[in-house]
Amino acid sequence: MVRARPARIGLAMIACCAVAAPVAHAGPVVVAPQPTPKSAEAIGYGGAVSSVDPDATRAGVEVLRRGGTAADAAVAVAAALGVTEPYSAGIGGGGYFVHYDAETGEVSTLDGRETAPASAHPEMFLEGGEPIPSAEAITSGLGVGVPGTPATWQRALEEWGDQDLREVLRPAERLAREGFVVDDTFREQTAANQERFSAFPATRDLFLPGGAPPATGSTFRNPDLAETYRTLGEKGLDPLYRGEIGADVVDAVRTPPVDPAAGRAVRPGGMTAEDLRDYRVERREPTRTEYRGHDVYGMAPSSSGGTTVGEALNVLERSDLARLGQEQYLHRFLEASKIGFADRDRWVGDPATTDVPVDELTGQEFADSRACLIDPGSVLPTPVAAADPRHPKPCAPAAPAPGRVPQEGPNTTHLTVADASGDVVSYTLTIEQTGGSGITVPGRGFLLNNELTDFSFRPTTPGEPDPNLPGPGKRPRSSISPVIVLRDGAPVLAAGSPGGATIITTVLQVLTGRLDRGLPLVDAIAEPRASQRNAPSTEAEPGFLARPEAGRLRALGHEFTESAEIGAATGVERLPDGRWLAAAERERRGGGAAEVVFPVP
């Protein structure tokens, strides 16, 4: 049952009068879509939406103007991103949903992570005792997890929505049917996947019209996805989790629809109709970290985002980052990230199968025992060994530990929403790799994920337990890190980012940039990024490496590897006068899209 909140009716009536409703065409004339304007920052009242895509952001604002809640609008944005960002997210994937309820002051989270089929086992990605090639795991049925995104949408609407699934899917259904204008990012991502997309007729026909990526400025339509959304809106989730859409998903996983002429061997997966029927979204207690007088809420395992961001913040708590010079701020940020990842890789996995010490990992006592390892004049040798959060030993030696750096796909998408009543959503959803598995479900218009490749193919540290090995029904560890920050029980900001394992460091950098360094949120999002994940070298964007601090960090012992782009964050902030500020990227992924319901400078 969708929750009723009569207090919102006033806003709906105001929005109705203030904003003209879209007018349906009476005849069969189809008007070519025009590029939707976008801005990296917007300020005003009535609610706020920020995502990487202007059409998706507009879908959320449309729902808010109809009097919808933040949860309603977040689902509408996510569904629209399944149209315009199909290589990052969609109903073939999963994600994590963090919600603040202004009426109760409660922060809640939904774990909509994909699950392994019942046939999964710890050696499923090994052959002759060695890991299969990563490319063969990614583009396969073997790497596909049971999708959790549609179930997450339904659960969010039941818990915090005023509108039903049919209503909130309408903007995305319309967008899929009428089309959107292809931008450079969409074309470039298609081109980067052209070879493997070509191997699957359904993927090739949809994303490579005429055998080539769609041209920038052209109109891209997905009528199959529009019909899938219409079906889910009218019939609910049964067609996917118990019916005909689900049967098509299972067929695509177990017998990947590959063109024999492509010459590509595609490994099948073991998903069954029972796996789909057994899927459940888990409502979990959020992680909570006190930082500089704020309460930072994040996502608990199966994500490692909340624990790792929380631990790193606690490590940094004893440093006055506001007063430090830029070099020392960045040095400590990188070292805290390194320590957090060491402990993440050892302790975090699916809580259904692993006893994850969440409270200890996010506790100040453990962080203090790790923070004293940071030397202002040198770097910790990598990889740093993990410590036991249940039995913290102050300044225990941080000798390098033999191990492997876990891999995660770089693509995902994040959205943040606030409504007129003060509810806030921070939601990250994904299909893992750019383009997921590459397998489009024939006739359904969406790509399947390759999330099971987030499992460790074999133990990360030889001889040590690994909580992230595959298993039946298990959720692979994620780095997704949606956060909501409160002060005295009221929302301050919400943020998140895509980027695989770099998500954790991006969110940490945005939070410290805003809360410690005093940067406006849009500037904290735009800052050149670096990501240290307990590896010998730190990934860094060209803009970071061009700064004079990069040379001084090298003198301390930091090594860097250039990465063209790290993440694509979005955020919302509640200003002291009650206005909402929405912030997005200025340049990454071609720039994001921030919008408010009633703009006021």
Cite the active site residues.
Answer: 412
The answer to whether the CB of 447 falls within 8 A of the CB of 431 is yes
Among the listed residues 296, 169, 182, the one whose alpha carbon sits nearest the alpha carbon of residue 225: 169
What single-letter amino acid sits at 221? R
The Cα–Cα gap between 455 and 476 comes to 5
Residue given tokens 């390759």 in the structure block: 450
Q: 113 Cβ partners below 8 Å, 6+ apart? A: 94, 95, 96, 145, 148, 302, 303, 451, 475, 476, 478
> Residue 567: which residues within 8 A CB-CB, separation 6 or more?
497, 498, 499, 502, 503, 506, 529, 588
Three-state DSSP class for 428? Answer: strand
* Separation CA 311–CA 319 (nearest Å): 14
- Joined tokens for residue 159: 């818990």
Diameter of the chain by CA atoms? Answer: 74
Distance CA 590, CA 574 (A): 26
Does residue 128 come out as left (phi exceeding 0), alpha (psi in the -120 to 50 range) or beta? Answer: left
DSSP code of residue 300: P
- Residue 383, preceding bond cis, omega within 30 degrees? yes
SS3 158: helix
Query: How does DSSP classify residue 262?
Result: G
Dihedral-angle region of residue 448 (phi above 0 means left; psi in -120 to 50 means alpha; beta otherwise):
beta
Separation between Cα atoms, residue 468 and residue 461, nearest integer Å: 12
Q: Residue 415 CB: number of other CB atoms within 10 A?
A: 35
- CA dist., res. 306 & res. 395, Å (int): 23
197 membership: H or E segment, kind and range? helix 194-197
